[in-house]
Amino acid sequence: MMTKDMVEAPRLDDDLVTPRPTPRTALLINPFYPKNPHASFGKHVLTPSLALTSVAAATPRSWDVRYWDENLLQGPPPSDPFPAVVGITVHLTFANRAYALARWYRDRGAIVVFGGLHVLSCPDEVAPHADAIVIGEGVQVWGRLLRDVDEEQLSPVYRGSYRSPYRCDPAPRRDLVPRNSFLTTSSLIATRGCHNRCGFCYLATDGLHLPYDLREPEQIAREFEAEGQPYGVFVDNNLGSRPAYLRRLCRALQPLERIWSAAISIDVTDDEDLIREMALAGCTGVFVGFESLTDRNIEAAGKRSPRTEDYARRVTVLHRYGIQVSGSFVFGSDHDGPDVFAKTVAWIEANRVECAAFHILTPYPATPLFRQMEKEGRVLHKDWTRYDTAHVVFEPKLMSVEQLADGYAWSYRRLFSHRSIWRRRPADARAVLPYLAMSYFYKRSNRIWRHLIRWRLTGLAWRPLVELTRRRHLKFRKRLAKAGAAVGRASSVVSAGV
């Protein structure tokens, strides 16, 4: 059952009398967005976003900066001390909330700055609600913007190009994030960009030129170690875009004896030895954008991917090295009929894919998909609050709007059912109990997630399961390394004999 505070933003007190803005104070806000009743509420507190903490790291030393995430259910953003500058990240699904926050702070004398993808895709819509907007890379321009505020020379538009070397960016200000509000505060990013440019993806937004760039593996290892968390989450769009780099990164992470997960494309399994290196470095899970089990849908999206008939074998490769798989699937593409839901869930269960996320195809503004659907007259409306991949906002080709919405909801109900969870248990008996604990806590505990989030108990609740997984994986790594050494010795004997 959905509670009010999971679907409605906290109330802003229009009658509140606030002090005058405190000079050289900045507040960065991640606005509230309604939670999807079909998915796990836990997904929203797995790890903090790096966008605002990365911007915070570029704050000049003469300024004080704070961070506030409304989705942690602590109420509206603070107003004492009242900030001189308020930076708000804007996504299309919570654009209206961002505008409301901006209006509240501007009415009381604060300067409001917007950044984020919606600013890039719809700048003319966004600009009237803020004193300044940042288009593109915010880390580059944030310090200059604050210096302009000091000099009373604020420009209405700032542009970041993504052209400066990524390794030169400062480490995110993770110290600003409430540690116990997340499964882990070790959200990490090693690469920027992706070798795919799918027509439905936000990376295909008009005006976004995001060259693929890398940070030094040693940088990432130092950040991971310094944070002191046993588990890290790489938030890269695709950590495996450059296999040679991923191998270097794994070798830098291996001595830490920590565990981590990352988003990869399934073609990383072309090199099984690389998967083994990932496991030895602590990788326990990967998020894979399978998108569809129909090749024509993959081709239409412009994604470079192996044939879908080979997906199952590649999942087996990951499982062989103790790496769990979380798959992402998009429903509603032009070659999807009403049978796509049962077909997809059956494949997930048959291949013991431990977790999955389902999305209704959504034409984000300024993407090739949006232009195509708008030209065809298939866009139903432009209510951005419903462009969250949980609502149907276009006219499907091979099924009705109702069939797509109902099939999406059915897929989540089936995935979270006792039957499906049991069917997808790992083949390795030693991994079954940790898997079941994680699955039931993550997938079937929405009733308690609200309380864990509100009382900042997420980290404390997850920590025992995370540590159990880390210790089990360390034992698995020892067995894997020992088996590899045995194979190496056997190969040496054969070579010597030859």
- Which three-class secondary structure string do you get for 296-324? HHHHHHCCCCCCHHHHHHHHHHHHHCCCE
Higher pLDDT, 211 or 157: 157
The vertex-180 CA angle with 176 and 182, nearest 5°, equals 85
At residue 204, the pLDDT reads 60
Query: Per the structure, how many domains does the chain have?
Result: 2
Domain's final residue, options 109, 142, 160: 160
For residues 201 and 137, state if they share a domain.
no
The answer as to whether 457 is a domain residue is yes
CA 410/CA 339 separation, integer angstroms: 12
Task: Compute the distance between CA of residue 224 and CA of residue 72 in angstroms, rounded to an integer.
Answer: 23
Does 384 lie in the same domain as 252? yes
Q: Does residue 83 fall inside a structural domain?
A: yes
Kindly give, in sequence order, each residue whose CB lies less than 8 Å from that of residue 433, ignoring residues fewer than 6 positions away: none
Question: Within a domain: residue 94?
Answer: yes
User: What confidence score (pLDDT) does residue 180 get?
Assistant: 95
Measured torsion, CA atoms of residues 146, 151, 156, 162, in degrees rounded to the nearest 10: -40
Q: Please report the pLDDT score of residue 498 as a whole number.
A: 36
Residue 168: count of CB within 10 angstroms of its CB? 9
Separation of alpha carbons 459 and 453, rounded Å: 9
145: tokens are 């913007």
Within-domain flag for 130:
yes
Q: How confident is the model at residue 169 (pLDDT cuts 50, 70, 90)?
A: confident
Residue 117 and residue 228 share a domain: no
109 vs 167: which has the higher pLDDT: 109
- Same domain, yes or no: 63 and 197: no
Q: What is the CATH number of the domain that holds 108?
A: 3.40.50.2300
Q: What is the pLDDT of residue 484?
A: 79
Handedness of CA 255, 260, 264, 268 (dihedral sign): positive
- Determine if the pTM surpasses 0.85: yes
Instruction: Give every CB contact of residue 106 below 8 A, 6+ residues apart in sequence.
Output: 112, 131
Which range marks the domain in which residue 101 is found?
4-160
Q: What angle do CA 397, 400, 402 make, to 5 degrees?
A: 145
For residue 202, the SS3 value is helix
Return the SS3 of 476.
Answer: helix
DSSP one-letter code for 388: S
Q: 249 and 154 share a domain? A: no
Structure tokens belonging to residue 102 = 């901006």
What pLDDT shows up at residue 490?
Answer: 46
124 and 213 share a domain?
no
Q: For residue 9, is pLDDT > 90?
A: yes
Compute the half-sphere exposure of residue 313: CA atoms within 13 Å on the CB side of its CA.
10
Note whether 191 and 99 are same-domain residues: no
Q: Which of 144, 160, 176 corresponds to the end of one domain?
A: 160
Domain membership of residue 78 (yes or no) is yes
Q: Cα(317)–Cα(310) distance, rounded to whole angstroms?
A: 11
Residue 42 lies in a domain: yes
The per-residue pLDDT for 200 is: 64
Query: 394: alpha, beta or left, given left = phi > 0 and alpha = psi -120 to 50?
Result: beta
Band (pLDDT 50/70/90 cuts) for residue 197 is low
Residue 372 is which amino acid?
Answer: Q
Tokens of 154: 């604020």
Of 368 and 491, more confident = 368
Q: List b or e across 70-94, with b for residues whose CB sees 16 or more CB atoms inside 10 angstroms.
A: bbbbbebbebeebbbbbbbbbbbbb
Whether 115 and 205 map to the same domain: the answer is: no
Are the CB atoms for 330 and 299 separated by under 8 Å?
no
**For residue 168, what pLDDT is reported?**
82
Q: Which of 238, 233, 236 lies closest to 305, judged by CA?
A: 238
Those residues whose C-beta lies under 8 Å from the C-beta of residue 95, and which sit 6 or more positions away, are 118, 125, 126, 384, 385
Least reliable range by pLDDT among 188-197, 305-314, 332-341, 345-354: 188-197
Residue 464 placed within a domain: yes
Identify the bridge partners of residue 69 per DSSP, sorted by sequence position: 30
**Apex 426 CA angle, 425 and 432, nearest 5:** 75
Encode pLDDT of 381-435 as tens digits: 999 999 999 999 999 999 999 999 999 999 999 999 999 999 999 999 989 998 9
The whole-number pLDDT of residue 163 equals 74
Alpha-carbon distance of 78 to 212, in angstroms, equals 37
Q: Tokens at residue 325, please?
A: 């798989």
The total number of residues shown for the chain amounts to: 498
Cβ atoms of 70 and 10 closer than 8 Å: yes
Give tens-digit pLDDT for 64-103. 999 999 999 999 999 999 999 999 999 999 999 999 999 9
The 3-state secondary structure of 132-163 reads: EEEEECHHHHHHHHHHHHHCCCCCCEEEECCC
Residue 208 pLDDT: 61
Count of other CB atoms within 10 angstroms of residue 69? 22
493 in a structural domain? no
Is there a single domain that holds both residue 146 and residue 207?
A: no
Please state the φ and ψ torsions of residue 356, each to the nearest 5 degrees. -150, 155
Q: What is the CATH number of the domain that holds 293?
A: 3.80.30.20
The pair of structure tokens assigned to 358 is: 């389902």
Give yes or no: residues 443 and 359 share one domain: yes
Same domain, 357 and 444: yes
Q: Give the lowest-confidence range in 2-11, 27-36, 110-119, 214-223.
A: 2-11
**Domain match, 142 and 210 both:** no
Can you give the C-alpha Rg of the chain in angstroms? 23
